[in-house]
């Protein structure tokens, strides 16, 4: 028996969509540290991209076909406090839906690998 991916442990695409909704609606968009970055964003499109990205980051199917992380964040001048806030919100959203701390840590390690592509762009 092969070990489940984080994606499978989290509950697959349906669960990821719920995580993404909660991530944005209850956490990110209510956080003045980062919500200004989404003022003029098509949130339906953003959530769709984020669900694909998180699925990929959790070892699910690579359906993400958007811009590179560096290109997507170009001109935003994101700082470490913005990255950290988003990472915390991702942690909290995954935890809210019962993902274990061990699995969250593994997912956040994968996200942290993209830090340099996101910051100061």
Each residue's pLDDT tens digit, 33-84: 999 999 999 999 999 988 988 888 788 886 667 678 888 888 898 999 999 9
Q: How far is CA 11 from CA 16, 93, 94, in A?
A: 7, 14, 11
Q: What percent of the chain has pLDDT over 70?
A: 93
Annotated binding site: 49, 73
Helix (H, G, I), strand (E, B) or coil at 66: coil
Q: Which residues are annotated as part of the binding site for heme?
A: 49, 73
CA distance 76 to 78: 5
* Token pair for 104: 């969250």
What domains, with CATH codes, occur in the chain? Answer: 10-118 (1.10.490.10)
Is the pTM higher than 0.85? The answer reads yes
Token pair belonging to 15: 């669960």
Q: Which helix (H) or strand (E) holds 113?
A: none
């Amino acid at each position: 028996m092969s070990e489940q991916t984080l994606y499978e442990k989290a509950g697959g695409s349906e669960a990821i969509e719920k995580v993404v909704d909660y991530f944005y609606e209850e956490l990110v968009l209510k956080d003045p540290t980062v919500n200004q970055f989404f003022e003029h964003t098509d949130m339906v499109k953003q959530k769709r991209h984020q669900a694909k990205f998180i699925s990929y980051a959790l070892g699910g199917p690579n359906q993400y076909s958007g811009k590179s992380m560096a290109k997507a964040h170009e001109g935003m001048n994101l700082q470490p406090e913005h990255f950290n806030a988003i990472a915390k919100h991702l942690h909290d959203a995954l935890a809210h839906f019962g993902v274990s701390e061990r699995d969250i840590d593994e997912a956040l390690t994968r996200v942290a690998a993209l830090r340099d592509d996101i910051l100061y762009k």
